[in-house]
A and B are shown apart, each in its own frame.
Chain A
Amino acid sequence: KAGVTQTPRYLIKTRGQQVTLSCSPISGHRSVSWYQQTPGQGLQFLFEYFSETQRNKGNFPGRFSGRQFSNSRSEMNVSTLELGDSALYLCASSLVVPSTNEKLFFGSGTQLSVL
């Protein structure tokens, strides 16, 4: 069974641009969550989707948005990129309910560099 797939692995953008990251969950998983990881700060929760509905959202500005498709694949978008958006963006999927006490399966992330 394929794991969580995130594309692209690396991305370089300039300030002011926008970017879209993709996440394909494990087959059969319906919940997808996104995290931003920066050195020394651990992971910050961005948002979570379950059955195409955003169920939970972290404390990020409106420039960060996401969506989930009917096949459970998810995308996140960051508009008007800032230098501080440089980070590793991780996606995680879980089987059924959008609950963090379910086992989460993570992808290898997209490393975004904003110049």
Chain B
Amino acid sequence: AQTVTQSQPEMSVQEAETVTLSCTYDTSENNYYLFWYKQPPSRQMILVIRQEAYKQQNATENRFSVNFQKAAKSFSLKISDSQLGDTAMYFCALDSNYQLIWGAGTKLIIKP
């Protein structure tokens, strides 16, 4: 069975610091997609970044980048120059047979 594990229930950092959120997954598929979603207090889930498993290059979106280690089944999210608006729940998700399998989430708090 496909699983997604986020081992950090909560993290906090000072504004402008860099923070890394961890995610490990398990799948028997060879081609798949991985995602990081952000859920602010408004509850609306917002796509942060997407990685295609067959692409070796790590995805980057402005201050957000991933460290994708396919052999280790690891998919961490790095947020550089963190901002107060980055405070949110962050979810890692795996695309599997047209279903998204989600981790339990990491609550990230950016302190001023």
Measured CB to CB, the residues of A under 8 A from B are 3, 35, 40-45, 48, 55-56, 58, 88, 90, 92, 98-101, 103-104, 106-109, 111
Quick check: A43 and B95 within 8 Å, CB to CB?
A: no
Q: Is B102 located at the chain interface by the 8 A CB criterion?
A: yes
Q: Report the minimal beta-carbon distance from B107 to chain A, rounded to whole angstroms.
A: 10
Residues of A with C-beta under 8 A to B33: 100-101
* Given A42-B91, A43-B91: A100 in contact with B45 (beta carbons within 8 A): no
Measured CB to CB, the residues of B under 8 A from A are 4, 6, 9, 33, 42-47, 50, 52, 91, 93, 95, 97-105
A-B contact pairs, 17 of them (CB 8 A): A42-B91, A42-B104, A43-B93, A44-B102, A56-B99, A88-B43, A90-B45, A101-B50, A101-B52, A103-B50, A104-B45, A104-B100, A106-B44, A108-B42, A108-B44, A109-B43, A111-B43
Residues of B with C-beta under 8 A to A48: 98-99
Interface centre among B4, B50, B98, B104 (most CB of A within 10 A): B98
Complex alpha-carbon distance, A107 and B46, angstroms: 10
Complex alpha-carbon distance, A45 and B99, angstroms: 7
* Given A88-B43, A90-B45, A108-B42: A43 in contact with B98 (beta carbons within 8 A): no
